[in-house]
Amino acid sequence: PSLSSATSDGFLQCLWENIPSGLIYTQGAINFTDVLVSSIRNPRLFTNTTVRPLVIVTPTDVSHVQAAVRCGRANGVHLRVRSGGHDYEGLSYRSVRADEVFGVVDLANLRSITVSADAAAGPMSTAWVDSGATLGELYYKIAKNNPEVAFSAGICPTIGVGGHFSGGGIGMMMRRFGLSIDNVIDASLVNADGDLLNRATMGEDLFWAIRGGGGESFGIVVSWKVSLVKVPSTVTAFNIVRSVDQGAIDVLSKWQDVGPTLPNDITIRVIVQGQQATFQSLYLGRCSDLVPVLSTFFPELGMTSGDCLEMTWLQSAVFFNTWNLNVPVESLLSRGTSLSTFTKNKSDYVRRAIPKEAWKSIFPWLTMNGAGMIILEPHGGFIGAVPAGATPYPHRSGVLYNIQYIALWPTGSDGSAATRWISNLYEFMGQYVSKNPREAYVNYRDLDIGQNVVVDDITTFDSGEVWGDKYFAGNFRRLAAVKAAVDPTDFFRNEQSIPPQSMAT
Ligand code: FDA
């Protein structure tokens, strides 16, 4: 709902009284646009008509986060929280509703990473990482401390820890060590009353919900305590490209069975673009051990020692992002983003292998006008062994792989062919992917699958269930009950936040 200017004036006044003015950027401020755009990746979500926040606050201390929440609450102004700004629909900094007045709490300044002293000694160590840190900063800090210690999370190094951990965190080591959320052991969170809680004081229901229930809904997570994992000093990566003419369809068909069942320390994901499939792999070990395993389990790939690239785990984090071995590991510390490419993303999960004949009809989609790419991420292993209700991420046992559809178009060009392509392909794929619900990954946010309706200032359960069932399946009801217990007035909300509904109703 729109607010009277008196209300928003009261909110701003409260911020100025409680937070250093240098950390507050109102719409009229000279630096407002620079701060707003600082972590935006997708120009689709930054146009002349994009609904902007009334104010952006950039806390340098947890007390500023608490003050912002209390000021918002007291004046009826909702807040959106931004960590790395990579949300595929921009929900951390824009609203879909033209009349919404809201503030943004941008955590980019809260990004310290403290690796426990025993991490230098080896495994079983931990780290506290603030939400405003990026994955690249986390990887770098851990590995510089000890190159045989790492963390399981996503591929793009500029992703923010805050949003990523809130939704799951899938990456090249999840078959061995699980999602990021499977390795979170404590957190500090500012709730809708502005109180600062940790695992012990928030309780296990709320601690369960923030590990995968999607960002925004339950409060502002300021920091996360994670278990680090042990990796060998040398790992092996490869990129093997097969065109349709070289039998890509046969290899891909076989991959559907092999990818999710290989030993857990091998991950092979597939990127399909044009008439080519790129099989991209991380093995937590040496080339000489990998070659015999793949020639036994996956001879169709034709992998040989000539495909192997041996490197440190930290270098592999750079390699999977850049496909280039010459980029220095310090590049992981860069927070810079570019606004050159528009994107639209959607996702699916596959529980039954797609028949080879069907792949023959899928490949032509990749050369149509407006075609982008699809990425297939194998599950199974550790990630598949976690019970579906252990965290809100329900896509566990029985999932073969996740599909991400990506439409791209350059700035200045007309995106209608690309957006038509992605929605038509998604419709076509419905016959081959999981059903009832048709599952989707909350971190690949997609507003086409449903958006909240707010009635009497509270998000309705029914509107949330439409998309919530796809992201969370049987865990959605429990998420709604946690929301009802911790934020019954629905202060933390966006177009896909969890609606409050207690189990009894
Ligand atoms: P952003 O700041 O936009 O936040 C995302 C959502 O979480 C918003 O709703 C926001 O309000 C909320 N939120 C943010 N910080 C919060 C906090 N501290 N407390 C509570 N709520 C908070 N995913 C993946 O699993 N594996 C991968 O390999 C990739 N790769 C990838 C590449 C690229 C180029 C992009 C753009 C995205 C991905 N992703 C991904 C998806 C990514 O994990 C997802 O977009 C994350 O939510 C991004 O987190 P940010 O903090 O950057 O986003």
What domains can you pick out in the chain, each with its CATH number?
A: 5-106 (3.30.43.10), 113-230 (3.30.465.10), 234-311+340-443 (3.40.462.20)
Token pair 């995106």 is found at 415
Q: pLDDT value at position 36?
A: 94
Q: Where does the pLDDT of residue 142 fall: very low under 50, low under 70, confident under 90, or very high at 90 and above?
A: very high
pLDDT (tens digit, 9 = 90+) per residue, 371-402?
Answer: 999 999 999 999 999 999 999 999 999 999 99
CA distances from 233 to 123, 134, 140, 284, 310 (A): 13, 23, 15, 9, 10
For residue 123, pLDDT over 90 is answered with no
Residue 377 φ/ψ region, left for φ over 0, alpha for ψ in the -120 to 50 degree band, beta for the rest: beta
SS3 state at 298: coil
Average pLDDT in the 313-331 region?
Answer: 96
- Closest ligand 1 atom to residue 81 Cα is 11
Ligand 1 midpoint to CA 217 (Å): 14
Q: What percent of the chain has pLDDT over 70?
A: 97
Token pair 């449903």 is found at 450
Average pLDDT in the 317-322 region?
Answer: 96
Neighbours of 459 (CB within 10 A): 24
First to last CA, the chain: 25
Ligand 1 midpoint to CA 135 (Å): 10
Q: pLDDT value at position 301?
A: 98
Token pair 């991490």 is found at 119
For residue 421, pLDDT over 60 is answered with yes
Listing DSSP states for 204-263 in one string gives: HHHHHHHTTS-SSTT-EEEEEEEE-EE--S-EEEEEEEEEGGGTHHHHHHHHHHHTTTS-
Distance CA(355)–CA(239), nearest Å, equals 24
For residue 223, pLDDT over 80 is answered with yes
Q: Which residues contact 117 (CB under 8 A, 6 or more apart)?
A: none
Q: pLDDT value at position 291?
A: 98
Which two tokens mark 392?
A: 């809100």
Q: Rounded mean pLDDT of the chain?
A: 95
Ligand 1 midpoint to CA 110 (Å): 16
Q: What residues flank ligand 1, with Cβ below 6 Å?
A: 41, 80-88, 91-92, 107, 131, 154-156, 159-160, 162-164, 166-171, 215-216, 220-221, 443, 494
Q: pLDDT value at position 119?
A: 58
For residue 157, pLDDT over 80 is answered with yes
Token pair 């793949």 is found at 294
Q: pLDDT value at position 338?
A: 80
Average pLDDT in the 240-261 region?
Answer: 98
Nearest residue by C-alpha to atom 22 in ligand 1: 215
Q: Do 363 and 277 touch, CB atoms closer than 8 A?
A: no
Q: pLDDT value at position 1?
A: 43
pLDDT (tens digit, 9 = 90+) per residue, 53-93?
Answer: 999 999 999 999 999 999 999 999 999 999 999 999 999 99
Is the link from the previous residue into 437 a cis peptide, with omega within 30 of 0?
Answer: yes
For residue 2, pLDDT over 70 is answered with no
Ligand 1 midpoint to CA 92 (Å): 9
Helix extents (H) in 125-177: 135-145, 161-167, 174-177
Q: Where does the pLDDT of residue 229 fall: very low under 50, low under 70, confident under 90, or very high at 90 and above?
A: very high
Which two tokens mark 138?
A: 């986390």
Which two tokens mark 166?
A: 């809130």
Ligand 1 midpoint to CA 265 (Å): 25
Q: Which residues contact 436 (CB under 8 A, 6 or more apart)?
A: none
